[in-house]
Amino acid sequence: MADISKLNLIGIVSPFCLLEFKHALARVGHGQMLEVLIQDPDVADDLVRLVDRSDDRLVERKRIDHKFQILVQRVSKKDISVKEEA
């Protein structure tokens, strides 16, 4: 089974949680998983859309009580983080 990194975004407001997600996913190695916990259903939808538009794979999305658990597998080899040019 692939390694799973965890990211708890409960209480983090949008758009900061989307930025945190992108940075965390950029740090996950090819083939590894990122598990995200989030409360806001609209932000959960946004995260799923981000994954759908990427080369990465949505493994699972489920609701647990008043939060969502989203599991993403890093498929893309490209770095999606923002880099400064010298």
Q: Beta-carbon neighbour count of residue 49 at 10 Å? A: 11
**Confidence band, pLDDT 50/70/90 cuts, at residue 40:** very high
Joined tokens for residue 29: 């190695």
Instruction: Look at residue 37 in the predicted model and tell me its pLDDT.
Output: 97
Q: Chain-centre distance of CA 42, in angstroms?
A: 14
In CATH terms, the superfamily for domain 4-73 is: TusA-like domain (3.30.110.40)
pLDDT digits (tens, 9 = 90+) for 59-83: 999 999 999 999 999 996 654 444 4
Show the DSSP H helices in 1-86 as ranges. Answer: 16-27, 41-52
